[in-house]
Chains A and B, each alone.
Chain A
Amino acid sequence: MLEGALLIRRQRVPLGLWGATYAAGLVFGLALAALILVRLGVPAPALWQEFVVQTFLTSQGLGQTVTAMIPLVLVGLGTALAMRVQFWNIGIEGQLWLGAMAATWVSLHDIGPAALRLPLMLALSMLAGAFWIALPLALKLLWGVSEVISTLLLGSIAFFWVQHQLFGAWRDTATGFPTSPTLDAVERLPLLGWGQVHAGLWLALGAVALAALVIGVTRLGFYARAVGENRRAARAAGLPVLLIVCSFVLGAGALCGLAGAVIVTGTEFRLSQSIGAGYLFSGIVIAYLARSNPLAVLVVSFLLGGLYTAGGVLKVFYGISEAMVLLVQGVVLLSVLAAQLFADFRVETRRAA
């Protein structure tokens, strides 16, 4: 007789099971990735050395991973906050560009006293990011315009705006190339004396702590969960739905904007056309894998940062092409995502009638 398999959604996912499926997915994905890499000619003994020791266990490698992690945490957290209230923010890069532009604008015009310049750049970048997400938020609230489309398109507009500035008023006149002039020393986030790791790390950790606190402890966080589960029921229950949605979505935009400023002030020290690439993809992956949990965002960002560091190693020493690096990264992420199935559902087999 035929065996039928039935997926039954679990009402509650035990924490141990949740962790176990993640770990199993990760191990399976890494094993698959290792297989691909060995087939591509990377010597098998080098895999452990390059991808575990170099990426996470040496001071230099760990420094690179943490540096890559900092903006990832901010965009991941931004996406997660919006996701909590069922707002699909596909305009992460747009908000990031706006934040980067705001910070650059403050720097170029030397606004405020030198001591306050950096805080001002960071604060304004959050406002700019929030502003860029406020537009699709307003469209959605007023006329029900799908934010998936409007945030995505505003991302492109932001990039054209950046290009307009870089080829126009903000172009570095010293070189004629489309990058803004480099930032003064006071406008840069201080280095922590560990590779390229900068004070943006504290901002990222602070943001995670704050978000975890708001979501886990405060009434706002509790309400947000209700709104995310069922907006109409939440409204019927008398919750301030509009306030909750607005504060989470604007917060999300502010965090993405801050990520832009952190990239400009922490590692790039100027605005260029290439700083924001890839953060849309990363942000969504992080938020999804972390299930919008702030602490998990931190962990996933760290692992993704490691994946990027390892990707650099592959390119540098083994001549692995960009396409293959993306494939390998994709295999790992997909298998972790797919493993969630086993946490969310239990599989029952029964004889077909």
Chain B
Amino acid sequence: MTTLRAALPAGLLALSLPVAASAFELTSEPKVAFIYASVAQDGGWNEAIDKGRAALAEDLDLDIAVAENIPEEATRLRAAIDLYVQRGYNIIVGTTYGYSEAMFEAAQAYPHVAFFNASGVHNGANMESFYARTYEAWYLAGMTAADTSEADKIGMLAGFPVGVVNWDVNGFARGAQAVKPGIDTTVVYTNSWWDPVKEGQVSEAILDQGADVIATDLSAASALSAAEERGAGAIGYQIDMSAAAPEGILTSVVFNWEAYLTPRIQEVIDGTWQPEEWGWFAGLASGVVDLAPFGPSVSEETRAKVAEAKAQIIAGELQPFAGPLMARDGTEVVAEGDVLPDDALWTMDFFVDGITGTMPSGE
């Protein structure tokens, strides 16, 4: 597995504890708690993790506590962690990068508790952050979109211009270009993670500009509903969003967090867990990120193309961000024969060539 090593410059390294050579061991019976920043059934990000939690509970026969709506504030999160630890919980899973700092401090205060954080940034002797190479699946989604599009113009909604979002956008555009080199990918950032009304309107605006496929990198399905009404194709994210667009759905980029959580928590229980020094970060090969079943309008031919690319990505033969990779402003980001390194992924703040739209505070 490739690591996050290069992603974490000196400032962060100084904060991170060196990972102990020995495995982490629990000192009491495993008690697991999940902490969410919003409701668990949010129709997207948290729901995907909660699906993983439910599978984990069943696979390992655990009774898992859940706290919802714990804000991304150090005091609130720390209070929740303190409460759990005080009552004997010793495996705590957070679900947002906004928990990173406070959870890392808690990990140092409670060395006998195992901490996990989805899309977090810190790792240590008893803490591991995890995320997926979502751009690999978005590349496949881009191929599906481009192959289905007749207008040769596809659209995508995104939240905030952070690395993990920008790589989805660029991965989507690269996948589309792999099928149709000249295709236009129109991208709009909504500057929020969850705003169903706005997302529906943005979706319509992109369709008004002539796009015939809408993909969303957000947690609400309203962008897909808008596409369905117009008879356009739709691509969802986080969970299978086909319910919002039963006719037009092409596929969804989905998480299967249990593919990570179940074996990982089992390791903690077995006393064999050694946190990844730079966090756990894997893609299609791990199964943590994947495509949902294709919709009725995706042709057999497209399915075959995507399946082939998927096999190549899993085998390591195809890299979505392999050179030559040109940014939209004309600079060459990756030369022919090279691959974009992981540190550049996390700080990605450019559009690849072929994207229409504005990145707030970017470029």
Contact = CB atoms under 8 A, between A and B. Distances in A.
Interface range for B = 35 or more
A171 B161 CA distance: 11
Contacts of A321: 39, 68-69
Given A177-B162, A316-B83, A316-B84, A67 B347 contact: no
Interface of B is mostly: mixed
Nearest to A63: B82
Nearest to A165: B361
B79 A64 contact: yes
B86 A60 contact: yes
Nearest to A176: B163
Among A277, A309, A312, the one with the most B-chain Cβ atoms within 10 Å of its Cβ is A312
B12 interface: yes
Interface residues of A, number: 39
A68 B75 contact: yes
Contacts of B12: 174-175
Interface in A265-284: 267-270, 272, 274-275, 277
Given A267-B74, A312-B83, A322 B121 contact: no
B161 A167 contact: yes
B74 A268 contact: yes
Nearest to A64: B79
A67 B71 CA distance: 15
B101 A269 contact: yes
Contacts of B73: 267-268, 274-275, 277
Contact of A173 (B9, B79, B87, B160): B9
Interface string B146-168: 00000000000000111110000
A328 to B, nearest CB: 14
B307 interface: no
B230 interface: no
A163 interface: yes
B25 interface: no
A232 to B, nearest CB: 44
A174 B39 contact: no
Contacts of B74: 196, 267-269
Nearest to B348: A176
25 contacts: A60-B82, A164-B361, A167-B160, A167-B361, A174-B11, A174-B12, A175-B7, A175-B100, A175-B121, A175-B163, A176-B164, A176-B346, A176-B347, A181-B11, A269-B101, A272-B72, A312-B70, A312-B76, A312-B79, A315-B69, A316-B80, A316-B83, A319-B66, A319-B67, A321-B69
Interface of A: 60, 64, 67-68, 163-164, 167-168, 171, 173-179, 181-182, 195-196, 267-270, 272, 274-275, 277, 308-309, 312-313, 315-317, 319, 321-322, 325
